[in-house]
């Protein structure tokens, strides 16, 4: 929340999982460019230019193209870009930010651009948050660029990424105990965040106190992971989820509440909605092999599906053949 970080230090715990945005760039000889987002079945083709119209359609693709071409003064060339994402767009797993990072990645690989992880994350933020004026934070772009477990701090325009050294046994147990569940709905995170942004600009006291609590939650989770006290995680997540719901009306819904209460009754000790809220993925901490009963009871509701996952220690990776 940029308005929060103007006056306070924000903090999150973030990690990456092996669900990806896959982006490919293939050169062509006719000086035209095309973008194809397979999941949404959206396709656009244009003459090469550095001022493609971003008011409609595949805005993320065109804005990234414009930014790269202007910044690095690229000569006209033709290419096709195709993107596929392993999870639905707008599902709370950073799909838009990850998409922009992957788009920057293919240009960086093709032209050998001098960009490190911080540069890529900041460029993605500039494109999404400034040039396209989409509401949201910075953690998704940094997570996609860096990968792995990180404790991130935000103060003003400064971002500090602190990699966390978590024992393999702790990571394995976490992987075993966390249920990732898709709530069968997606949303535009920028729309969900609009009320939160307004409240922060209006210096709403309740919102500020809730964000203070979420910063404290990040610190508690960091301590929990480093010390290996992971069965405390459910209670900490539940505390954070209750605080997060106070930020705006659209964060939780009756459907989300039903899923959450069902998971708790089945053995989960806490959880949260991912991303901005309003729909998408939820995750639950389920100690002592309670996850099997949690998944069974959630499936009975017929409101979504269990999404298996594993941790991923890498951020954006690129390569080229030929």
Catalytic residues, which ones? Answer: 140
DSSP three-state, residue 88: coil
C-alpha angle 233-238-243 in degrees, rounded to nearest 5: 125
Closest CA to 91 of 203, 192, 197, 1: 192
Q: Give the separation between CA 25 and CA 220, rounded to whole angstroms.
A: 42
Backbone angles phi, psi at 42, to 5 degrees: -110, 135
Contact 110, 320 (CB under 8 A): yes
Encoded tokens for 90: 């707008």
Q: Strands 178-182, 305-306: parallel, antiparallel or unpaired by DSSP?
A: antiparallel
CB 161 within 8 A of CB 116: no
d(CA 190, CA 248) in angstroms, rounded, equals: 13
Q: How far is CA 121 from CA 77, 117, 144, 160, in A?
A: 25, 6, 8, 12
Asked whether the CA dihedral 298, 299, 305, 308 is positive or negative, the reply is positive
Tell me how crowded residue 196 is: count the other CB atoms within 10 A of its CB: 25
């Amino acid at each position: 929340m940029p308005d929060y970080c103007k006056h306070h230090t924000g903090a999150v715990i973030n990690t990456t999982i092996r669900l990806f945005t896959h982006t490919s760039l293939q050169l062509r000889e006719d000086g035209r460019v095309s973008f194809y987002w397979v999941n949404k079945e959206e396709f656009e083709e244009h003459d090469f230019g550095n001022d493609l119209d971003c008011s409609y359609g595949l805005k993320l693709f065109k804005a990234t193209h414009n930014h790269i071409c202007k910044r690095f003064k690229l000569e006209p060339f033709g290419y096709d870009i195709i993107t596929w994402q392993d999870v639905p767009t707008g599902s709370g797993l950073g799909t838009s930010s990850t998409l922009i990072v992957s788009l920057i990645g293919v240009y960086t690989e093709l032209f050998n651009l001098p960009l490190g992880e911080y540069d890529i994350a900041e460029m993605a933020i500039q494109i999404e948050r400034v040039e396209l004026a989409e509401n949201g934070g910075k953690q998704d772009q940094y997570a996609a660029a860096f990968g792995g477990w990180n404790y991130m701090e935000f103060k003003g325009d400064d971002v500090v990424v602190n990699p966390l050294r978590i024992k393999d046994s702790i990571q394995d147990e976490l992987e075993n105990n966390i249920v990732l569940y898709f709530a069968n709905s997606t949303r535009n995170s920028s729309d969900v965040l609009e009320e939160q942004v307004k409240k922060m600009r209006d210096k709403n006291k309740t919102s500020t106190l809730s964000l203070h609590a979420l910063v404290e939650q990040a610190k508690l989770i960091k301590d929990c992971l480093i010390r290996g006290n992971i069965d405390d995680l459910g209670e900490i997540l539940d505390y954070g989820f209750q605080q997060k719901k106070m930020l705006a009306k659209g964060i939780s819904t009756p459907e989300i509440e039903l899923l959450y209460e069902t998971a708790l009754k089945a053995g989960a000790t806490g959880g949260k909605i991912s991303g901005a809220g309003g729909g998408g993925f939820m995750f639950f901490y389920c100690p002592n092999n309670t996850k099997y009963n949690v998944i069974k009871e959630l499936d009975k509701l017929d409101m979504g599906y269990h999404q298996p996952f594993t941790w991923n220690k890498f951020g954006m990776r690129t390569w080229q053949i030929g």
